[in-house]
Amino acid sequence: MKKLWSLLCILSLLISPALAATESPEDAESADQPPAETVPSERAGKEPYVVPGAAYTVQAKSAMLIEMGTNQILFEQNADQQVYPASLTKVMTCMLTLEHGNLTDTITVSETALQGLSEAGSTAGLQAGEQLTLEELLYCMMLSSANEACNIAGEYVAGSVDGFVDMMNERAAELGCTGTHFNNPHGLHDENHYTTARDLSLIVREALKNETFRTITSTVTHEVPATNLSEARSLSTTNLLITPSSRYYYEPARGVKTGFTSPAGLCLISTASNGRMELLSVLCGANYIFTETGEQENQNFTETKALFEYGFANFSYTKVLTTLYPITQVKVLASGGPEYSLLAPDHELIALLPADYEEKDIVQEISLNSPQGVEAPITQGQVLGHVKVSYQDHMLGESDLVAITDIPRSAITVQTEETKTFLAVNWWKILFFCLLGFVLLYATLVAINRLRARRHRAARAARRKKVIDLPDDHWGGDDWSGDDLL
């Protein structure tokens, strides 16, 4: 029994390492899990890129240039300085009216909507009691910059002009405007009616999400059908950048709104597209000057055009990540092929950058799921890492990193693991058969020993009997005497 117990102890020592090396399914799964996805960084409101060369300026109190695809600020000048918006106010008025109104509704002009307006202000000549659709009212508001149309829309949406102004301020706060306070819906000068170029950019970007807003503000001419009190009206936009007959015409430009009061100066919000980028310009507080020929030049148009040309010339979309080229590698453990797996982005990343950027300034922050190495086999497209790309501390984007080829597991490793797995699963069977074999062997040895002992005893007995049965003459007969042996 002592020998049997010793054998059991030895077998348990041999089987224990196999059990300890066996990984539970939960452990194996958690070891290969990629890190949790990170939420993409907010792209809006970035500081402008640093562009080499002389600092660029515009002839205006404040200005911003923004690329609409990324919301990347390309240029800003006194963007947070408080300014008077003049008729740029109508961007908010039009947007709110579109959000709360129905374009086919028929509106009747009230007496109160025509009160308190400057006789020198912009107008479409709308009369008390006149009826027109909301859509036609908005054309009057945004093309002719009709101040009365703003009061009419305010009463339609909120029931009163004052109630509508409250809605304007609430909506501005919702959009993140921190330097804006509206005191009327049209923009006629008021000391308590002000904003900033940055806030205006937030408002107009929201408004441009509405296709009707884009259509109205990009229209050059429009005819308002005859009403109950007026013949048909022909309207023309005040934005000369989009007017082909104007000397300020700039073909890439679209919309949005002009503004002017003496305290506000010349103002303009406009967009422009060259087929690759859409730019948004916000310009407040420009002047008009006289050229050597005595011709007046409105700098809100010339400076806005210069801003667009600056943006198109100095910035472009560039491919900063491609799926065609690996950017890092990871060690493969128990590989039956290459020792390292090459990793490439799982999708292309195209980002807006200065046209003369230097490649060394593109920063790739690479993280591997298992920096110490990844167990084979590896399959093509398997996610093994992540990369974030930035430029001048601007987050450009990110991508998973995937293996570009399959890598099999080593055959020796596979056989070893299969053996370990077999031992781990079938250890009790092995132990049982070992014990059974030991018992059978022990029983066989005992039986053999007993048989040998029995034969040995039988042989001794036979020899003894043979001695006893020998005839007397074998011992020398009667002549033998025991004394002879002495």
Active-site annotation, residues: 87, 90, 145
Of the candidates 415, 368, 361, the one whose C-alpha atom is nearest the C-alpha of residue 392 is 361
Q: Would you say the C-alpha torsion 211, 217, 222, 226 has a positive or negative sign?
A: positive
Span between the terminal Cα atoms of the chain, in Å: 53
State which H helix or E strand residue 288 sits in: strand 288-290
From the list 384, 397, 417, 295, the residue with the least C-alpha distance to 35 is 384
Long-range contact list for 127-130, CB < 8 A, 24+ apart?
127/229, 127/230, 129/228, 129/229, 130/227, 130/228, 130/229, 130/230
**Burial class of residue 456 in the structure, from the number of CB atoms within 10 Å of its CB (0-12 exposed, 13-18 middle, 19+ buried):** exposed
Please state whether the peptide bond connecting residue 157 to the residue before it is cis, i.e. omega within 30 degrees of 0: no
Q: Are 86 and 147 in contact (CB under 8 A)?
A: no
3-state SS track over 374-408? EECCECCCCEEEEEEEEECCEEEEEEEEEECCCEC
The helix/strand/coil state of 202 is: helix
Answer whether the bond into residue 244 is a cis peptide, omega within 30°: no
d(CA 268, CA 255): 10
The whole-angstrom distance between residue 121's C-alpha and the CA centroid of its chain comes to 47
Identify which of 345, 347, 341 has the alpha carbon closest to the alpha carbon of residue 406: 341
| Pick from 401, 405, 388: nearest CA to 327 | 401
d(CA 366, CA 74): 27
Burial (CB < 10 A; 0-12, 13-18, 19+), residue 52, is exposed
Q: State the burial class of residue 324 (Cβ atoms within 10 Å of its Cβ: 0-12, 13-18, 19+).
A: exposed
3-state helix vs strand vs coil in the chain, percent to 5: 40, 25, 35
Question: What is the distance between the alpha carbons of residues 279 and 64, in angstroms, rounded to a whole number?
Answer: 10
DSSP class of residue 40 equals P
Residue with tokens 């703003």: 150
Q: Is residue 370 a contact partner of residue 330, using CB atoms and an 8 Å limit?
A: yes
